[in-house]
Amino acid sequence: MKLFSTHRSIQQLCLPVAVWLCVLIPGLSQADEKSADRFWPQWRGPLSTGVAPHANPPVEWSENQNVRWKTALPGTGHSTPIIWGDRIFVTTAIPFGEKLAPKPDTAPGAHDNSPVTQRHHYAVLCIDRSDGAILWQKTMHSNLPHEGGHNTGSLASASPVTDGERVMAYFGSHGLYCLNYTGKLLWKKDLGDMQSKHAHGEGASPVLHGNTLVVNWDHESQSFIAAFDTRSGKQLWRLNRDEVTSWASPIVYEHNEQPQLIVSGTGRVRSYELSTGKVLWECGGLSHNVVASPVAADGMVFAASSYETRAMFAIRLDGARGDITDSQHVVWKRHERTPYVPSPLLYGDSIYFLRHYQGILSRVTAKTGEEPLGPFRLGGIIDVYASPVGAAGRVYVTDRRGSTMVIGHSDNPRLLALNRLDDQFSASAAMVDGELFLRGEMFLYCLAED
């Protein structure tokens, strides 16, 4: 039975599937421990594309099936859990103390926001991957937030990053912190207070490449991007950006042995020389309120946005320098069904993305922008904030109601399962070996075949 035909709706799971998986055991050799692509070290995984190249997570689960463990988490956070070896790291914001009179957001156009009524602890948790036990919990900072953020957001939405020795936790206005694996604070940075558009809050995650950590600070005052040495916390460079608020996380992509730092913003997507911050190329055409992060592979970069206008385009990197907006380096463009909140998934020669944050999936050929099949209406999936992920020839799409649709990654996509859990999910999934990790409003789940 086919998963979809063009514009066809799937209203319910109607294809029982028996799928046998090879579940990999977390015991790893020293060589494996040093191989970042075996783990999920940062936002969007080891390749920054949403793909786990060595993972084989389960296809089916429920509260009573294939839940290896679930751990209650304190506070609230929409950051993705990151995994290295037998350790999982998550960030959270924990309210404490007496409730205060609501502090109104005074930002122009503020709406649909959560009122500030309590002080918060901004904390990092280390969790044992084998059984879900919380090994340590460290508070990095405590204060009364100056903004409450959108009522669907959180004060801990930026995902941490790790290099297997250190974990860097970024809370935006509430600080940047580096800890070792025992929870000892190695260094910290105070970058000031971010003034987000409509006081909707913060969410861009840092990116790590070698010993260089980069944070992007796009807001309603002077925006900038800055790089730090992970070993010492020393600022390597800082460059002002002619941008306003965006929530897209930067990525690093090596092209012709040169690592490029690529950042989507309201004005344009830009590439920086990682070592110096020098702008290599830039391309206009995105909308305001950029949330989706770019993806890159095979010498091409793909950027997208969807707010008041829809835009998505592919850039060929060979020879790209300066302003390439109207040049031959822009290989293709599209202006329909582009993503807003969830970032695209770049899987093999295909790009998967959701319309705005709705359950309508498009799949296009990365090199040409052609769409051989679709769009596909995902019956049972609504309001998607989590970005889709891919592994073992499958695509996983999780919505805010607790449903995850599993789709075959093939020329003729098929429904494999529609799974539900008793939680709400805005954080994107992480996948390592035979395990899928879903961070909800209440619990962190480890899903694996028994």
Q: Please say if the pLDDT value at position 444 is more than 60.
A: yes
Q: With contact defined as beta carbons under 8 Å apart, do 174 and 159 qualify?
A: no
Write down the pLDDT at residue 34. 56
Q: Which helix (H) or strand (E) holds 96?
A: strand 87-96
Q: How far is CA 35 from CA 85, 96, 163, 356, in A?
A: 10, 39, 10, 34
> Whole-number mean pLDDT of the chain?
92
**What would the pLDDT profile of 140-164 be if each residue is shown by its tens digit?**
999 999 999 999 999 999 999 999 9
Residue 161 backbone dihedrals phi, psi, to 5 degrees? -135, 155
Q: Is the dihedral of CA 79, 264, 175, 52 positive or negative?
A: positive
Write down the pLDDT at residue 172. 97
Quick one: pLDDT band at residue 21, thresholds 50, 70, 90? very low
Task: Provide, rounded to the nearest whole percent, the portion of the chain with pLDDT above 70.
Answer: 92
Q: With contact defined as beta carbons under 8 Å apart, do 247 and 240 qualify?
A: no
Q: Tell me the one-letter amino acid at 418.
A: L
Instruction: State how beta strands 212-217 and 207-209 pair.
Output: antiparallel
Residues in the chain: 450
Long-range Cβ contacts of 229-233 (<8 Å, 24+ apart) = 230/163, 230/166, 230/168, 230/178, 232/187, 233/178, 233/186, 233/187, 233/188, 233/189
Q: Please tell me the distance from the alpha carbon of residue 336 to that of residue 49, in angstroms, as a whole number.
A: 21
In a domain, 14, yes or no: no
In a domain, 4, yes or no: no
Q: How many CB atoms lie within 10 A of CB 114?
A: 20
**What would the pLDDT profile of 258-284 be if each residue is shown by its tens digit?**
999 999 999 899 999 999 999 999 999
Helix and strand tally (H, E) in the chain?
1, 33
Write down the pLDDT at residue 277. 98
Q: Please tell me the distance from the alpha carbon of residue 297 to that of residue 255, in angstroms, as a whole number.
A: 9
Write down the pLDDT at residue 368. 98
Q: Tell me the one-letter amino acid at 197.
A: K
Q: Please tell me the distance from the alpha carbon of residue 447 to that of residue 151, in angstroms, as a whole number.
A: 28
Give the count of domains, the chain. 1
Q: How far is CA 269 from CA 279, 283, 284, 438, in A?
A: 11, 5, 6, 30
We report the CATH number of the domain holding residue 342 as 2.130.10.10
Q: Is the dihedral of CA 381, 355, 268, 344 positive or negative?
A: positive
In a domain, 12, yes or no: no
Write down the pLDDT at residue 33. 47
**What would the pLDDT profile of 208-238 be if each residue is shown by its tens digit?**
999 999 999 999 999 999 999 999 999 999 9
In a domain, 217, yes or no: yes
How crowded is the C-beta side of 306, counted as CA atoms within 13 Å? 19
In a domain, 15, yes or no: no
In a domain, 11, yes or no: no
Quick one: pLDDT band at residue 416, thresholds 50, 70, 90? very high
Instruction: State how beta strands 376-377 and 360-365 pair.
Output: antiparallel
Q: Please tell me the distance from the alpha carbon of residue 367 to that of residue 332, in angstroms, as a whole number.
A: 8
Write down the pLDDT at residue 11. 35
Q: Please tell me the distance from the alpha carbon of residue 294 to that of residue 219, in angstroms, as a whole number.
A: 19
Q: With contact defined as beta carbons under 8 Å apart, do 40 and 46 qualify?
A: yes
Q: Please tell me the distance from the alpha carbon of residue 446 to that of residue 272, in angstroms, as a whole number.
A: 37
In a domain, 16, yes or no: no
Q: Compute the average pLDDT of residues 35-46.
A: 94
Of 62-66, 122-126, 410-414, which gets the smallest average pLDDT? Answer: 410-414
Of 97-106, 366-375, 422-431, which gets the smallest average pLDDT? Answer: 97-106
**What would the pLDDT profile of 75-94 be if each residue is shown by its tens digit?**
999 999 999 999 999 999 99
Q: With contact defined as beta carbons under 8 Å apart, do 448 and 66 qualify?
A: yes
171 versus 15: the higher-pLDDT residue is 171
Residue 38 backbone dihedrals phi, psi, to 5 degrees? -85, -15
Q: Please say if the pLDDT value at position 3 is more than 60.
A: no
Q: What is the DSSP letter of 410?
A: S
In a domain, 52, yes or no: yes
Q: With contact defined as beta carbons under 8 Å apart, do 432 and 7 qualify?
A: no
**Boundaries of domain holding 296:** 30-448
